[in-house]
Structure 1
Amino acid sequence: MASTFHRDRFTWVAYVLLAYFAYLQGAPGLVLAYLRDELEISYAVAGLHLSAFSAFAIVAGLLSAWLESVLGRVRLLWFAAVLMGAGAVGLTAGSVAAVTIGSVGVMGFGGGLLLATVQAGLADHHGALRAVALAEANVAASSSYLVLIAVLSATAALTMSWRVAVLAVLAVPALMWWRNRGLTVEATHARVVRGRLPGVFWIAATMLFCVVGAEWCITAWGASFVEAAVELPADVAIAVMAGYFGGVLVGRMAGSRLAHRHDPTRLLAYALVVAAVGFAILWPSTQLVQALIGLVLVGIGIGNLFPMGMSLTVALVPERAVLASGRAVSAGSFAVLIAPLTVGTLADATSLKAALGVMPAFLVLAAGCLVLVHRARTRTAA
């Protein structure tokens, strides 16, 4: 793969906005422990917050290509960022589950539009080097997860509300808009907003569903799992999740460098193995050190699953990057809808430890889809 990768103004704006998206996307999962205590809700009802986010993100993914054709790429970026921030305000202001769940739904719609537009923009803008751009963008996203944990830990240490940590990030899109008001970017490929995608794309989209499902088993319930397994206070359990998000960051940094020289298919295969090994260490843990090691390894593996999976999926139909990105976001959002709610419901019926057994099932299914996609690509290239 060529190494002449250029980061222009749009690229940096896209990176920062994806980091903003990731910060707010991660917030509901990390504050579930607080919400369960404050609102006195069950695991299943708490999981509905993440399900609401993903349900509305699914709709956003289906509408993103059409909205981009109406508003234009840059206007849609700023609109999506504002909408996501408005939902975050509602989450912090809500005092009953119906309001907080609805607000997270607004976050999901804005976030889905933002994610689809950023990914389509980067894939379209950088062409053959889309894997590098998407990997670097997800390094920025991973960094923001660590920032989120740091800010949540700082507010807890200062006896401030978790709401301060959520609201603080809203200054980011405002500052980015002010500094980049004249930004203009045009798509270099035809903007196909409807039509049929090939069968191999849907196999790849299923793989993306599985890897996102595996990721959100840990992102949503990792802190609660560690809290119960190691018997830690909620604040400490959230802080321990820094090991997981740190692993995600390390994995994505390594992946962004390896993407210059290696095919995403090979990187995905390695990442699935590392994630499975990490889960095998995490799942039986009762001591903090073992849990932390497991979280780090799971994070390193999971860190590359989404960016490489997205790159591979969109690369199957490069002439339809906007349409493919929107459909891929819907597939990933559907996983965020299903995985946390499934784990939460099973946890109420059995235990959270037993419920997290769905994660390795996701990894196995993803590996099967990856094999099918690889075979299809090999036949096409022959």
Structure 2
Amino acid sequence: MLVRDRLTWLTYAQLAAWAYFLYGFSPVVPLLRDEQHTSRAVASLHGVAFALGGLISGALLPPLVRRFGRAAVIWGGLLGVCVSAAGLLLSHALPATLSWAALASTAGGLVVNGVTAALADHHGPGGPAAISEANAGAAAIGVVAPLIVGSSVAAGLGWRPGIAAVVAVVVAIAAFALLTRVRLPAVQLQDSPATGRLPGRFWLVWASLLATGSVEVCLNLWVADVLRTHAHVSPAGATAAVSTLLGGMFVGRLVGSRLVARLPGAAVMLGALALSAVGFAIFWPATAPWLALTGLVVTGLGIALLYPLGMALAVQHSGGQPDLAASRTSYAVGVSFGVAPFALGSVADRVGPHLAFLLVPAFLAMSALAIVTLRNRVAAAQPALAPTLD
């Protein structure tokens, strides 16, 4: 049973602040391509910058937690996100926007992985439900972010003021923490080793996260472009329409937090992958905006649980090393952020974004294969454990 306290709500809010930046910036990439007069492949370098930041944060997290503690690392990450937002507000050249994207991803990775490990430790058996619920809140904020950015674009202000609003969000969260005097507990050194060996099952989850991360980043970065070129939605409307995907993710994570508390994680993951495929099958061929948006909602319902449940499974199969597992998953997410959007952008420059989007179901199939293998290994190991349980 999940019992929420002030610490729970604080970590939820911290994750939501990063989500505002992430989901607000993702649909901006096509606008940056227009602004900077680059190809889709070059614009997708912002995804590579996010990947680089994810890899850096994964390497930094264990030693930083050991040295400063989770609380300082998470707050430091939020500060880095604010600095990045301010930098983007003042920057227009490609090298500058790439640099700020990399810094934001590094800082955001510290927030995400710190919060995930904190919730897993704080809630024990209720950790997977708490992680899913935290990501539901993040998706709810993510619904708002593209709408604010899209409204800013429609008003002629550009996208930057909408992104910079994250600073106000972080200030409000810090004020809440100060007023309520809630703090993350200290972490024992053995709970966050800088090095260690993770079980083979963890690496199956890692492979699944690599694939599902590729799905999510491709959708967030390029779905607005497909809406513009295939469903004939205006640039401002396509940017704001990403909220339909995130709306589906919010509902999916809210409902999913109940499912993961009652059903095996692998079974829920496979169901989510199947629903994602159904939603994509509706979205991809649609030329009418309403049908394309309907497909995005269904897709959002499916992909909602892929990341939070993948993170929960990674911690579950980490052999009691939550911080190390969280840091290593950053590499999976980082690689997916770098390789997938660049591959999709490169293909899109040759055949168009619509055909290039067929990479998405391929990534879904890759994740399903990894989870089926994990489930089979767990099932095979259970009979061997049975005599010790009698």
Give, in angstroms, the shift of residue 235 of structure 1. Answer: 0.4
> In 2, distance between residues paired with 1:340 and 1:174?
32
Selected match of 2:130 from 106, 122, 133: 133
Name the SS for the 1:89 alignment partner. Answer: helix
Q: Residue 37 of structure 1: CA displacement? A: 1.8
- Partner in structure 1 of residue 70 of structure 2: 73
Within 5 Å, give how 1:153-302 maps onto structure 2: 153-181=150-178, 182=181, 183-187=183-187, 190-302=191-303
> 1:172-223 CA deviation, whole Å, 9 max, x = no partner?
2222223324424123773222111111111110011111111111111111
Identify which of 96, 100, 104 aligns with 2:101.
Answer: 104
Matched residue SS, 1:102: helix
Stretch moving more, 234-243 or 155-164: 155-164
- Structure 2 SS opposite 1:180: helix
Structure 1 segments unaligned to the other structure (5+ residues): none
* Separation in 1, partners of 2:334, 2:125: 26
Give 5+ residue unaligned stretches, structure 2.
Answer: 384-390
Q: Give the CA deviation at 1:17.
A: 1.0
Q: Is the 1:28–1:49 Cα contact (8 Å) retained in structure 2?
A: no
Please say which of residues 35-44 and 357-366 is displaced more in the overlay: 35-44
2-structure distance, mates of 1:179, 1:128: 27
- Matched residues in 2 for 1:41 and 1:91: separation? 18
Match in the other structure for 1:335: 336
Amino acid paired to 1:72: G
Q: Which amino acid aligns with 1:211?
A: T
Q: 2 CA distance for matches of 1:179 and 1:144?
A: 17
Match of 1:147 among 144, 148, 152: 144
Q: Which residue of 2 aligns with 1:377?
A: 378
User: Is 1:32–2:32 an aligned residue pair?
Assistant: no
Paired with 2:154 and 2:336, the residues of 1 have a C-alpha distance of 34
Q: Residue 7 of structure 1: CA displacement?
A: 1.4
Match of 2:52 in 1: 55
CA contact (8 A) 1:30 1:220 kept: yes
Give 3-state SS (helix, strand or coil) of 1:231's partner.
Answer: coil
Please tell me whether the aligned partners of residues 115 and 329 of structure 1 are also in contact (alpha carbons under 8 angstroms).
Answer: no
> Distance in 1 between the 2:90 and 2:102 partners?
14
Give TM-score scaled by structure 1 length.
0.96
| C-alpha contact 1:124 1:187 (8 A) present in aligned 2 | no
Q: Does the 8 A contact of 1:125 with 1:187 survive in 2?
A: no
Q: How does 1:296-315 map to 2 (within 5 A)?
A: 296-315=297-316
8 Å Cα contact 2:48-2:337 kept in structure 1: yes
2:386 matched residue in structure 1: none
Aligned partner of residue 196 in structure 1, secondary structure: coil
TM-score (norm 2): 0.94
CA RMSD, Structure 1 to Structure 2 (Å): 1.5
Q: How far is 1:318 from its partner?
A: 5.1
**Structure 1 residue 157, shift from structure 2 partner:** 4.1
Task: Judge conservation of contact 2:212–2:363 (CA < 8 Å) in 1.
Answer: yes
Q: Structure 1 186/380 Cα, relative in aligned 2: closer, same or farther at 3 Å?
A: farther
Q: Which moved more, 1:36-45 or 1:220-229?
A: 36-45
Letter of the structure 2 residue corresponding to residue 169 of structure 1: V
Q: Report how far residue 154 of structure 1 moved.
A: 2.8
CA distance in 2, matches of 1:299, 1:184: 31
